[in-house]
Amino acid sequence: MTMPQMPVAIFVGGTSGIGRGMAEAFAHHLNGMAHIIIIGRNQAAANEMIGSFPKPTEPSTEPSSSDGPIFLHEFVSSDFSLISNVHKTAKSLLNRLQRIDYLVLTPGVSLFARRKETKEGLDEKMALSYYSRWTFIHDLLPLLRKSEIRGGAKVYSVLSAGRGDLGSVDTDDLDLKKKHTIQRCRLALSTYNDLMMQKLAKQDPQIGFSHAFPGLVRSPMLTSSMWYYLFYPFFTFFAQAPEAVGKIHISTCMASPPGFNRYGEMGESLKYTPADELIVEHLWNHTLQSKSTKHVTRIVV
């Protein structure tokens, strides 16, 4: 009897916070019967996390790569604040995977942090919450298109759905180099994720592209901030554990239909009025022409 293929799931930023919670919930939901790839910077956290996953009880039907056997649960080290590293990581995955069924993106730093440029000239918040996510999705589209799961592949970006504002899009300053404020950056990143998903869903309507808002989560990003200690009683009462949020959003991700979807903190669907195509295309073309991302067009066909 032919064994069914195991789903292939990639969790970018999956070693802590909601990314970790979603990866753990996914592994336990499938009793370990999945090829799970955690991409991040914390090897020790990844080893501990993968060690807690249920062990597969049946053989995988996935073929071995040219470099040796594929490990069902694995960690890939990458500092994705640098888009050049995202390209390298994606290229490695393209060379050894047959397909991708789930791509979950949760990398980020506090949106209340001041502007801090990477050596590629991008604000770190924008690099993690928009440019790296855009690049991972765009580079890995050939594998997402090969998914055979019901309803097509699922791409799930966790940030701040429903918290954006089209008025925050300044087509003359999309990288916010001329005028950068915490509020303007927060609104822009939420809006950019919406516009990115709107474009992708139009381009590949057979794939589910989702942008989600997880609510307040007791992630290391929150608990290590000064705001957590200043308003400790508030956060203790209202912030949810990453494990609980992870279960909600992995279930939402797995059930998401093809097209563009937005979800709230309990997995409820959020309304969306499509943005003007001129704005969508302007941001898309700007991203394509970015010094950090422009060579991606040689990868995606």
* pLDDT at position 298 over 50: no
Whether 118 shows a pLDDT value over 70: the answer reads yes
Tell me what the mean pLDDT of segment 262-270 comes to.
Answer: 97
Looking at residue 70, what is its pLDDT? 55
Tally Cβ neighbours within 10 Å of residue 163: 16
Window from 59-68, 88-97, 98-107, 267-276 with minimum mean pLDDT: 59-68
**Residue 127 pLDDT:** 95
Percent of all residues in the chain with a pLDDT value above 70, rounded to a whole number: 81
**pTM score:** 0.89
Q: Where are the domains of the chain?
A: 8-53+71-290
Each residue's pLDDT tens digit, 9-55: 999 998 989 999 999 999 999 999 999 999 999 999 999 999 999 98
Confidence bin at 111 (pLDDT 50/70/90): low
pLDDT range class, residue 239, cuts 50, 70, 90: low
Query: Length of the chain, please?
Result: 301
Is the pLDDT assigned to residue 56 strictly greater than 90? no
For residue 21, give every residue at least 6 positions away whose Cβ sits within 8 Å of its Cβ, in sequence order, or none: 241, 242, 243, 244, 245, 246, 247, 249
- Residue 292 confidence class, pLDDT cut points 50, 70, 90: low
With a cut of 60, say whether residue 60 has pLDDT above it: no
- Sorted by sequence, the CB contacts under 8 Å of residue 286 that are 6+ apart come out as 174
Check whether 246 has a pLDDT greater than 70. yes
- The residue ranking higher by pLDDT, 126 or 60, is 126
Most confident of 140-154, 163-177, 207-221, 226-240: 140-154
Cα dihedral sign for 50, 46, 266, 232? positive
pLDDT of residue 291: 58
Q: What is the mean pLDDT of the chain?
A: 87
DSSP structure string for the chain: -PPPPPPEEEEETTTSHHHHHHHHHHHHHTTT-SEEEEEES-HHHHHHHHHTSPPPSS---PPPBTTBPPPSEEEEE--TTSHHHHHHHHHHHHHH-S--SEEEE-----TTSPP-B-TTS-BHHHIIIIIHHHHHHHHHHHHHTT--STT--EEEEES-TT---GGG--TT-TT--SS--HHHHHHHHHHHHHHHHHHHHHH-TTSEEEEE---SB--HHHHTSHHHHHTHHHHHHHPBPHHHHHHHHHHHHHHPPSEEEEE-TTS-B----PPPHHHHHHHHHHHHHSTTTGGGGGT--
Q: List beta partners, residue 259.
A: 208
| Rounded-to-integer distance, Cα 191 and Cα 161, Å | 8
Among 62-71, 79-88, 205-214, the least confident range: 62-71
pLDDT at 216: 74
Band (pLDDT 50/70/90 cuts) for residue 224 is low
CATH number of 8-53+71-290: 3.40.50.720
Using 50, 70 and 90 to split pLDDT, how confident is the model at 231?
A: low
> What is the separation of C-alpha 287 from the centre of its chain, rounded to a whole number of angstroms?
17
